[in-house]
Amino acid sequence: MGISFHITSVREGTIFNVMQFLSLERVTGVLTIRFGRQLPEVSIYFIAGNIATAEFGAIVGDGVLDMLLCQEFAIKEVSFAPGRINQVNESAIIVRSSNIASVMLNVSKDVDKCESRPFIYGLLPVNSNQGRTSASVLHILQDFGAWQADLDAVPKSEKDKKAPLPQCVLIHRALSRGVLSYQRPLVSIKSLKGLLDLLNPISEKEANNLRGYLRSLLPHPKATHLSIERFYAFASAIESIAQRRSPEVGDRARRAIHALIQSATKMMEVEETASA
């Protein structure tokens, strides 16, 4: 009887561990990776334990693995169903797939060096200055042909960031130039320093707890911004500690939090106006 499973608790490293397991068991079948409802899926076909093909709409082959590790924080489900497929997609074949550990290590190094990753948040919806919208950046990646002409038209800049996937270079360029903009405000992580300074002097336990909580809210360690919803959660923890200091410190923290929210919202409105 073939191996089949369905995982709904995905953590960092899950994808590598699952692929390593399938390789060791020398299975044949389809590994399906889901980011959530109404989002496109990734399909990876195994033959006798080797990755044969990987597909995510317009992204195929090795590029799918780059995208997966980059956006692993967004993965919600992983499942495997044994069975053979009638026809292999030649354009989606994985190069040098016999050693999965080596393949994933090389992909991990590519992702670590990616300069575009810190500002690309796969699950966030975006607007285009052409009046178009997308339910997420992942949708743009999946259906990239429908967006490529608009993104190719964005002028190059010396500030452009590199990335393993050319799609991500174009998306980052468009985001940084206001051609694409996230539909929700983002709060710069650098701006949190002033908020944290209000808590000084801070105990080692409090500092460690806040650092750990902030890490849990970030999509990945190199992220430069928090979505407004996650900022609210972090700000609530800050305000709670500040209130324990004194009512005055609590009031200063609330004003600082409100100012950051206003600044993030205003920045988004300015970008939308500039791109209109």
Query: Where residue 29 falls among pLDDT bands split at 50, 70, 90?
Result: very high
CA–CA dist 63, 73 (Å, integer): 17
Q: Which pLDDT band, with edges at 50, 70 and 90, does 95 fall under? A: confident
Is residue 242 within 8 A of residue 252, CB to CB? The reply is yes
Going from N- to C-terminal start, the domains of the chain cover 5-113, 117-182, 186-275
Residue 275, pLDDT > 60, answer no
Question: What's the pLDDT tens digit per position in 62-88?
Answer: 999 999 999 998 999 999 999 998 888
Q: What is the pLDDT of residue 272?
A: 56
Global pTM reads 0.88
Question: Which tokens belong to 148?
Answer: 């490529």
